[in-house]
Structure 1
Amino acid sequence: MSACGCDGGELRPVDEAIEHLLGRVSGPPPIERVALADALDRVLAEPILAPADVPAWNNSAMDGYALRAADLPPQGGRLPLAGRVAAGDTGLTPLPAGHAVRIFTGAPLPPGADSVVPQEHCRAEAEAVWLPPVRRGAHVRPQGEELRQGQPVLDAGHRLRPQELGLLASLGQAEVPVYRRLRVGLLSSGDELREPGEPLGPGQIYNANRFSLGAVLQGFGVEVEDYGVMVDELAASRDALSLAASEWDLLITSGGVSVGEEDHLKQAIRELGQLHLWRLAIQPGKPLAFGEVSGKPWLGLPGNPAAALITALVVARPFLLRAQGQRNVLPKAMPLPAGFDWPEPRPRRQYLRARLERGDHGRLEVIPHPQQGSAMLTAASWADGLAVVERGATLARGETVAFLPFDGLLRG
C-alpha cells in the first residue's frame, strides 16, 4: 500500500495529474496483425515504409492527349495520332516522334511522352489533334511523386482513420500490425443506482454513468467489460475489484471516491494495491483518483454524471490512449472569443459545457450553458465542447478562451 499523501488538503493541478498518469503507463498491449478492413481506429504498432514508388510509373492526371512537348511548336499546332492509352493498359509501345496519343486519367504515359494536354483545350480531327502550347511535364503524375520506395509513410503509435486505410490499401497492405485492443473493466459504485426501466424508490437514481462512460470508452477504441454496480460495502468492493483486475488490463470505476463514510472504494484499493493520486483542482470532478489493483492500473472517476464524463474526457482519455500505444494523446484547444464574462476567479480549473454561436459581429463565440452542476448532463448534451477557464483567472466578453470540441475529445 502507498500512503502518497493522497488524503491531504492540497488539490493536484490537472496538467500535473495527467503527466503523472502518463508516466505510469507501463507499455502498450501485445502486437497482432489484422486484416486491413478490420483496422479502423486501431493503433499502428510498427512503422510502415513504402514498398515501392507511388505512383509506380508516370501517368496522366487528365483525360486528354499525351505528347513530347518538344514536338509541338511554341504557338501550338497539329500532331497526328498514334493510338490511345487507357488506365490499366500494359505493354506500351514508344511514342513515335512528332505524334500524340489519346490518353485517359490514370493511364501510364507511353515511353517518350512527357506532357499531357487536357481534352477540353484540344480540337480533335480525323487522324490528328490540334493542341495549344504546352509546358513540359504538364498534367503528368511522375513516378514517385507521392512516395519513394523505402520512404516512411506512417509511424508506430498512429491511430488509423479512413484516410490511413486508403493509403495502406494503395500500398498493397492486406494486413496491418496493430496493438491489441486495451481491455477495460468498468464498474459502478452506489447502492442508490438502478438500471433504466426499473422503478425508482426513494433516494434512488438511474445509472447514467454506465452508459455514458461505456460509450466514451468505446470511442477511445478499447474493449469494455461492464461489471455492473458494486455494493457500497468494503468486502463487496474488494471482491469485485479483485475479480476485474484478474481478468482485464485496466479498471475504471465511477463513484465511491469522495469523502463520505459510505464510500469504501478507496479503502478497498489500499488493501488490494496502491492509491497514487486523489483530488484534482478541476471543476467538475475534484474527487478523481488513480492507483493500482493487484498490479493493474485503476482510475476512479467521480459519481456525479457530468463530473464523470468530463474527467473521462479530460484526464482519463490521454492515459487510455497512451496505454494503447498511441503517440499523440493530448487534445488541441481552439482559441476563440468568449461570449461571456467570468468576473470571479475560482480555485479550480473550470471546464464549462459550452457551444459556439454567432455573436453580434457574425464571429463565433463560446457560450456556456447556464447550468453547470456536476450532476447535470443536460448541459453536456446541449454543448459542442468545453470552455476552459484557468484557476485564478477572470474573463471579459471578447477575450480569448480555450475551447475543446467534443468531436475531438470523444475520439481516440
Structure 2
Amino acid sequence: MTAKTAKPAAKLIDDCFVLDKDRLPHQEAIGILKARVRPVTGTEQVPLAEACGRFLAEPLVSPRQIPAHDNAAVDGYAFASSGYDFAKGAAFRVIGEASAGHPYQGTLLPGGAVRIFTGAVVPAGLDTVAMQEDVRTDERNGERWAAIPPGLKAGANRRLAGEDTKPGETLVAAGARLRPQDVASAAATGLGAVRCHAPLKVAVLSTGDEILRPGEVFVDGKVYDANAPMLHGLIAATGAEAVDLGVLPDTRESVIGALSEASRKFNVIVISGGASQGQEDHVVASIDALGKRHLWQIAIKPGRPMSFGQIGDCVVLGLPGNPVAVFVCFLMYVRPVLTRLAGGVWPEPTRFPVPTAFTQKKKRGRREFWRARLIRRDGRVLVDKFPRDGSGLISSLREADGFIEVNEDVDEIRIGEVVEFIPFSEFGLGQR
C-alpha cells in the first residue's frame, strides 16, 4: 500500500493567452505548452516493487558507498602485490577462505593468500586477485600453497569500495521516470521505497454522431471508434491512468456538460473529434465557455486542428478526429504535456540522421510528420516514406517504424538526402 498526500495547492497558469495567429508554428506551440504546464499531482512513498514507471518526486541520493567494501570480481586467490614479482610470479601460503557474505576472519600473515570467491570482501592488506584457473596449488609440509603466474597487475580482479557510487551521489534526478535499472540503483543503496508523483488521471472522450464503439453492430454511414482504444494505449505508455468516458453526440450541450463534469474529477481530458470549425464541432467553443483556451490550430500535417486549454485546474487537449492525426498530435504534444503534468521532465525525442530512399515534394510553411520505415539496401540503412498520406490510414501507422520530421522551410526531399527520423521507440512504443 502507498501513503498518499493531499493534492498540492499550486495551480496551472490560467491567464488568457492571446491567439494572434491563424496557425501556430510547431516550435511556438511547443513553447506555449512548456510555459503553461507544471506538475499537478501529489506525491507518495512508493515501495520499490511498485516504483518502476513512476515519476520521481525528489532526487534519489545514495546514503552510502557502493560497493561497501573492496571485493573480488572472480573466484581465485587474494594476495598483497607487495610480495609479488611481476616478471617471475610468486607462491603464497593459503591461510584461509572468504566467500560472499562470509568475510575472512583470521589474522593476515606475511606471504599469505586467501582463497576467495566472487563478491567476497577482499581482506584489508590484500589488493590483488588471481583467477583460480591461472593458479597452481600444491601441498607443502601439510600446508596449501598457491603459485601465482607472472604478469598480473597490482589491483587486478578487485572491485574497489565506492567505485560504483559515492555517498551523497545523486543517482537519479527528480522528474525522471524510473526504469528497472534505476530501481536497482535504489535497491543497492538499501532504500525500500522512493517518493514519487501520484499517477495522472486522464479522461478519454470521443465525439461525433457517426461514431460506433467497437463491438456494436455496424450501421451504414457510421465508423468505429479507433481513437479511444489507441489513446488508452498511448496514455498508459506515459504512466498515466486513463478512464474511457464514452462517445458524445454532436451537440453543444452534451460537450459542455461532459467537459464540465470531467474537469472536476480528472487532471486531464483528452477528447478526439469536434476540433475543427464545422457547424457540429463544439470542443473549442466549449473550452472557451468553461475555461481558458491557450492554443488552437497548429501549422503541421497531419493534426492541424489541435486545441489546448484548461477548465480550472484540469487541462483539456482537443485532438482531431482522424486516427493518424490523433497519433501524431499525441506523440508530439500530448505525451510531453502528460509527462510534465505527472511530474516528469519535458521529454524531447532524439532525431536520428538517416538518408532517404525516396523523393517527395512538400508545401512550405508547415511542419510535416511523414510515416516511414527503415529499410536496408546495399548494406546501408535508409528510411522510406509510406506512399500514401491520408490521415485516416491506420495501416500506415501499423507499417511504420517512426516519423520523418520535415521543417517548415523545406519544399522538397530528394533521394539520398539525410533527414531527421524519430523512431517510435523514442516514445516508449514497441518495435514493428
Whether TM exceeds 0.5 here: the answer is yes
Take 2:348 and 2:95, find their aligned partners in 1: how far apart are those partners?
A: 58
1:21 pairs with 2:27: no
1:257 is matched with 275
* Aligned counterparts of 1:28 and 1:363: Cα–Cα separation in 2: 46
Instruction: Compute the displacement of 1:328 (Å).
Output: 4.4
SS at match of 2:205: strand
Select 1:129's aligned residue among 142, 146, 152. Answer: 146
Q: How many residues align?
A: 410
Structure 1 residue 291 corresponds to structure 2 residue 303: no
Which residue, 70, 83, 90 being the options, matches 1:77? 90
Aligned pairs (5 A) from 1:146-185? 146-185=164-203
TM-score, with structure 1 as normaliser: 0.96
Equivalent of 1:118 in 114, 117, 131: 131
Aligned to 2:409: 392
SS at structure 1 position matched to 2:74: coil
Q: 2:396 aligns with which of 376, 379, 387?
A: 379
Q: Does 1:51 align with 2:63?
A: yes
Q: Aligned to 2:337, which of 308, 319, 342?
A: 319
2: CA distance, partners of 1:172 / 1:86: 21
Instruction: Return closer, same or farther for 1:124/1:309 CA change in 2, 3 Å cut-off.
Output: same
Indicate conservation of the 8 Å contact 1:386/1:403, yes or no: yes
Q: Distance in 1 between matches of 2:40 and 2:148?
A: 59
Answer whether contact 2:201 2:240 (CA < 8 A) is retained. yes
Q: Does 1:67 align with 2:79?
A: yes
Query: CA 1:94–1:383 in 2, change beyond 3 Å: closer, same or farther?
Result: farther
Matched to 1:148, the amino acid is: K
Q: Deviations over 1:26-52 (max 9, x none)?
A: 334111011100001101111121111
Distance 1:342 1:73, change over 3 A: same
**Which residue is equivalent to 1:142?**
160
The equivalent residue for 1:40 is: 52
- Gapped regions of structure 1 (runs ≥ 5): none
Per the TM alignment, residue 362 of structure 1 is displaced from its structure 2 partner at its CA by 1.2
Q: Deviations over 1:263-306 (max 9, x none)?
A: 11211111111221111111100000111123421110111011
Shift, 1:202, TM fit? 2.1
1:353 paired to 2:353? no
Q: Structure 2: any 5+ residue segments left out of the alignment?
A: 1-13
Q: Structure 1's 179 and 344: CA in aligned 2 closer, same or farther, altered over 3 A?
A: closer
Identity of aligned residues (%): 38
**What do the CA deviations read for 1:302-332 (whole angstroms, capped 9, x no partner)?**
1101100110001111111111111241111
Residue 406 (1) aligns with residue 418 (2): no
Contact 2:337 2:346 in 1 (8 A): no
CA contact (8 A) 1:220 1:411 kept: no
- Letter in structure 2 aligned against 1:107: A
Q: Is the 8 A contact 2:302 2:325 kept in 1?
A: yes
* Farther-moved stretch of structure 1 (70-79 vs 159-168): 70-79
Q: Is the contact made by 1:92 and 1:111 (CA closer than 8 Å) also made in structure 2?
A: no
Residues 1:325 and 1:4: Cα distance change in structure 2 (over 3 Å):
closer
Query: Among 92, 103, 118, which residue is 2:105 paired with?
Result: 92
Once the two structures are TM-superposed, the CA of residue 234 in structure 1 deviates from its matched residue by: 0.6
Give the letter aligned to residue 367 of structure 1.
D
On the 8 A contact 2:40/2:267 being kept in 1, the answer is: no
Q: CA deviation at 1:392?
A: 3.1
1:12 aligns with one of 14, 24, 31: 24
Instruction: Decide whether the 8 Å contact of 2:104 with 2:123 is kept in 1.
Output: no
Contact 1:353 1:380 survives alignment (8 Å): yes
Letter of the aligned partner of 1:231 in structure 2? P
Q: CA deviation at 1:346?
A: 3.8
Match of 1:216 among 234, 238, 248: 234
Asked whether 1:193 is paired with 2:211, we answer yes
Query: In 1, distance between residues paired with 2:39 and 2:335?
Result: 16
Q: Which residue is equivalent to 2:5?
A: none
**Deviation per residue, 1:177-196 (Å, 9 max, x gap):** 00001111111111111011
- State the AA in 1 paired with 2:25: P
Distance in 1, matches of 2:335 and 2:387, equals 26
Instruction: Give the structure 1 partner of residue 380 of structure 2.
Output: 363
Amino acid at match of 1:55: P
- Residues 136-192 of structure 1: CA distance to partner in whole angstroms, max 9, x if unpaired? 211111111111211221111111011111111111111110000111111111111
> What CA RMSD, in Å, does the superposition of the two structures yield over aligned residues?
1.8
**Which residue in 2 is equivalent to 1:300?**
318
- Aligned partners of 1:78, 1:69: CA distance in 2, in Å? 12
Q: Which residue of 1 aligns with 2:284?
A: 266
- Which 4+ runs in 1 deviate beyond 6 A? none
